[in-house]
C-alpha cells in the first residue's frame, strides 16, 4: 500500500486496487487536482493485488472457467487486496471499473464527491472473477461504450470528475453549477477575446450587458445543442419541462378557482 503524503489528513480519500500503482496519481498530480492533493483536500493510495498473491510468482490471474481466450483476475487475490484497501467499517463505496457497468453520470459523480471518498478496483485482462462483485459489494461502473486495456484510465477519469467538485478545489464555486449536465443539458458555447477572429464574431448579445438576455441566449443554445447531439438527455429534460409547465398551469387554475369561490361566498 502506497499512500500519498496527504492521504492521512484528507477528508476525501481514494484507494485504488491496481497492478499498475505507478499510474497514480499520474495526471491528477497536476493542475487543480494536483494542487488540491498537495493542500490535503483529498488523498490517494494504491493497493497492488500482487502483494496479496499466495505464490512465489505473485500471480493475480488464471485461465477462464469453461475455456476461452485470455486470463481472468482471481477472486481470492483481489478480495484480499480490497480488504486491505477498505477494512471493515470503511463506509466508502466500492467501485469496479468495467464496460459491463452502469454508465457514469454527473449526478453519480456529485454523490461520490459529497461522500467520504471511493475505493476503486481496476480490472485487467478479460476482467475479474464475477464472484468478487457480490462478495465485496462492488458497484460496476462504465465510463463509455468502449473497451480499454484496464480500469486505470477510467479510474483517473472518475477521480478527476469527483475531485474538481470538492470544496475549494475550483476557484469559482459557480463553475460546478453552470456546466454540461448540471441542469440536464449540455453546456452553452463559450467565447472570449478577440471579439473577431477570421471574420467570426462573438455573438452580440454576450456584449450587451443585459444579464437577462444573456441568460436566455445561453439557455436556448444549451437546449439546441442537447436536442441535436444528445437525444438521450433531451427527452427526459423535455418531459421534465412539460411536467413543470403542467404543474404551473394547474396551480394557476386552482388559484383562479379559489378566488372565484371566495367571491360567491355569502
pLDDT digits (tens, 9 = 90+) for 18-69: 999 999 999 999 999 999 999 999 999 999 999 999 999 999 999 999 999 9
pLDDT computed for residue 10 by the predictor: 77
pLDDT digits (tens, 9 = 90+) for 179-229: 778 789 999 999 999 999 999 999 999 999 999 999 999 999 999 999 999
Please state the rounded mean pLDDT for residues 109-125. Answer: 97
Q: Which residues contact 64 (CB under 8 A, 6 or more apart)?
A: 70, 71, 72, 126
Q: Is the peptide bond before 143 cis (omega within 30 degrees of 0)?
A: no
Residue 74, CA atoms < 13 Å, CB-side half-sphere: 16
Q: What is the Cα–Cα distance from 46 to 116, expressed in whole angstroms?
A: 17
Q: Please give the model's pTM, rounded to 2 decimal places.
A: 0.87
Is the pLDDT confidence value at 257 over 50? yes
The more confident residue out of 174 and 192 is 192
CA distances to 89, 210, 256 from 180, rounded to whole Å, are 35, 23, 38
Confidence of residue 5 (pLDDT cuts 50, 70, 90): very low
Q: Are 71 and 63 in contact (CB under 8 A)?
A: yes
Q: Is the peptide bond before 112 cis (omega within 30 degrees of 0)?
A: no
Q: Are 180 and 187 in contact (CB under 8 A)?
A: yes
Is the pLDDT confidence value at 3 over 80? no
| 3 state DSSP class of 3 | strand
Task: Name the β-bridge partners of 118.
Answer: 14
Q: What is the Cα–Cα distance from 74 to 194, expressed in whole angstroms?
A: 57
The more confident residue out of 173 and 263 is 263
Q: Which residues contact 236 (CB under 8 A, 6 or more apart)?
A: 184
Q: Are 19 and 60 in contact (CB under 8 A)?
A: yes
pLDDT computed for residue 6 by the predictor: 41
Q: What is the Cα–Cα distance from 266 to 263, expressed in whole angstroms?
A: 8
Distance, CA of 74 to chain centre:
27
Amino acid at each position: 500500500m502506497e499512500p500519498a503524503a496527504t492521504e492521512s489528513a484528507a477528508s476525501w480519500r481514494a484507494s485504488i486496487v491496481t497492478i499498475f500503482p505507478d499510474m497514480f496519481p499520474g495526471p491528477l498530480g497536476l493542475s487543480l487536482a494536483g494542487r488540491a492533493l498537495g493542500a490535503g483536500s483529498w488523498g490517494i493510495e494504491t493497493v497492488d493485488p500482487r502483494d496479496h498473491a499466495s505464490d512465489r510468482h505473485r500471480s493475480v490471474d488464471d485461465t477462464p472457467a469453461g475455456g476461452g481466450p485470455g486470463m481472468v483476475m482471481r477472486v481470492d487475490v483481489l478480495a484480499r487486496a480490497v480488504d486491505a484497501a477498505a477494512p471493515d467499517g470503511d463506509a466508502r463505496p466500492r467501485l469496479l471499473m468495467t464496460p459491463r457497468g452502469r454508465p457514469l453520470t454527473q449526478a453519480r459523480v456529485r454523490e461520490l464527491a459529497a461522500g467520504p471518498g471511493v475505493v476503486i478496483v481496476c480490472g485487467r485482462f478479460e476482467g475479474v472473477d464475477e464472484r468478487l462483485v457480490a462478495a465485496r459489494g462492488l458497484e460496476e461502473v462504465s465510463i463509455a461504450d468502449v473497451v480499454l486495456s484496464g480500469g486505470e484510465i477510467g479510474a483517473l477519469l472518475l477521480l478527476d470528475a469527483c475531485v474538481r467538485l470538492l470544496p475549494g478545489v475550483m476557484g469559482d464555486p459557480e463553475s460546478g453549477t453552470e456546466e454540461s449536465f448540471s441542469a440536464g443539458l449540455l453546456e452553452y458555447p463559450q467565447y472570449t477575446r478577440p471579439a473577431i477572429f477570421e471574420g467570426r464574431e462573438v455573438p452580440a448579445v454576450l456584449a450587451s450587458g443585459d444579464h437577462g438576455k444573456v441568460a436566455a441566449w445561453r439557455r436556448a443554445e444549451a437546449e439546441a445543442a442537447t436536442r441535436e447531439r444528445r437525444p438521450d438527455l433531451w427527452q427526459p429534460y423535455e418531459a421534465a419541462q412539460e411536467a413543470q409547465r403542467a404543474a404551473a398551469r394547474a396551480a394557476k387554475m386552482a388559484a383562479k378557482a379559489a378566488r372565484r369561490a371566495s367571491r360567491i361566498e355569502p
